[in-house]
Amino acid sequence: MFRTILVCLLCFGPGLTCYAQTDSSGLPKYDYQIYLPKEAKEIKQLLYEKDCSPIKGNISSGKKSIIMQDYEKGNKVHVTIIYLDGTEDEFVRSPCFIDPVIL
């Protein structure tokens, strides 16, 4: 009896801890970030390049990156941003320049 319980814990225990850290798709869920060349004041647009659907995002506390909460990995992002100095910039970032947020 003890041996059966021990085998079950060893087999299923690690799987349960991984399951607790994932979303419904079974993959870990991360926020993603885009680094900016200077401090930002406001995000005017944050869209997927392929279909122009919006992405939920905000400016980081250090004002030097955009944090995206619902970014779908592997997609280009179109950004229109206003910097603290009042200048406005519009650019596209490919997936290789979009990084997971390390907390």
Q: What is the CATH number of the domain that holds 38?
A: 2.60.40.1220
Mean pLDDT calculated for residue range 74-100: 97
Q: Euclidean distance between the first and final Cα of the chain, in Å?
A: 42
Q: Of residues 24 and 43, which shows the higher confidence score?
A: 43
Mean pLDDT calculated for residue range 65-91: 96
**What is the pLDDT, as a whole number, of residue 26?**
63
Instruction: Identify whether 52 is part of a domain.
Output: yes
Whole-model pTM: value is: 0.71
Strands ordered across the beta sheet of 88-93 = 40-48, 77-83, 88-93
Instruction: Identify whether 84 is part of a domain.
Output: yes
Instruction: Identify whether 50 is part of a domain.
Output: yes
Instruction: Identify whether 49 is part of a domain.
Output: yes
Q: What is the total count of domains within the chain?
A: 1
> Domain containing 55: what range?
29-100
**What is the pLDDT, as a whole number, of residue 30?**
83
Instruction: Identify whether 24 is part of a domain.
Output: no
